[in-house]
Chains A and B, each alone.
Chain A
Amino acid sequence: MSAYFNSVTLRRWLPRLLLMAAIALAGAVAGRLVGRWIAGPPASPALGGDAVYGVTLPDLAGAPQSLRQWQGKVLVVNFWATWCVPCREEMPALVAEQASLGPKGLQIVGIGIDDAAKMRHFAQSIHLNYPTLDGGYGALELSKTLGNTVMALPFTVVVDRKGKIVLQQLGPITPEHLTAIATQLL
Chain B
Amino acid sequence: MDTRPTSRGLSPKPCRRLSLLVAASWALALLAGVPSRAAELLPPHEAFALSARAIDPQTLEVRFDIVDGYYLYRDKLKFNAGAPQPVATTAELPPGKVKHDEFFGDMQTYRGQVDIRIPMAAPEGGRQLMLVTESQGCADAGICYPPQRQILSLAVPVAGEAPSSWVVAPVGRPAWLK
Contact = CB atoms under 8 A, between A and B. Distances in A.
Interface of A: 5, 8-9, 16, 20, 23-24, 27-35, 38-39, 81-88, 113, 122, 137, 140, 150-154, 170-172
B135 to A, nearest CB: 13
Interface string B152-176: 0000000000000000000000101
A30 B30 CA distance: 7
Contacts of A84: 138, 143-144
A27 B143 contact: no
Contacts of B136: 83
B41 A170 contact: yes
B22 A23 contact: yes
B46 to A, nearest CB: 10
Nearest to A137: B176
Contacts of A28: 29, 32-33
B102 to A, nearest CB: 8
A31 B22 contact: no
Contact of A137 (B35, B39, B146): B146
Contact of A31 (B34, B39, B40): B34
B105 interface: no
Report, nearest first, the 7 A-B pairs whose CB atoms are least far apart. A31-B33, A27-B29, A24-B25, A28-B29, A84-B144, A27-B26, A32-B33
Nearest to B99: A85
B141 interface: yes
A38 B34 contact: yes
Interface in B7-39: 18, 21-22, 25-26, 28-35, 39
B142 interface: yes
Interface string B116-147: 00000000000000000000101101111111
Contacts of B4: 5, 8-9
Contacts of B95: none
Contacts of B146: 81, 83, 113, 137, 140, 151-153
A40 B134 CA distance: 32
Contact of B144 (A5, A32, A39, A86): A86
Among A16, A27, A28, A113: residue with most chain B CB under 10 A:
A27
A20 B30 contact: no
A23 B4 CA distance: 25
Contacts of A16: 18
Contacts of B139: 152
A35 B35 contact: yes
Contact of B28 (A27, A83, A137, A154): A27
B83 interface: no
A85 B177 contact: no
24 contacts: A9-B4, A20-B22, A23-B25, A23-B26, A27-B28, A28-B29, A30-B26, A30-B30, A31-B31, A31-B34, A35-B33, A35-B34, A38-B35, A84-B144, A85-B138, A86-B143, A87-B144, A137-B174, A137-B177, A140-B174, A150-B42, A152-B143, A153-B144, A172-B142
A112 to B, nearest CB: 12
A23 B142 CA distance: 38
Given A24-B28, A88-B103, 17 more contacts: A20-B18, A23-B22, A23-B26, A24-B29, A27-B28, A28-B32, A28-B33, A32-B33, A38-B34, A85-B103, A86-B138, A86-B142, A113-B146, A122-B103, A150-B44, A152-B143, A153-B143
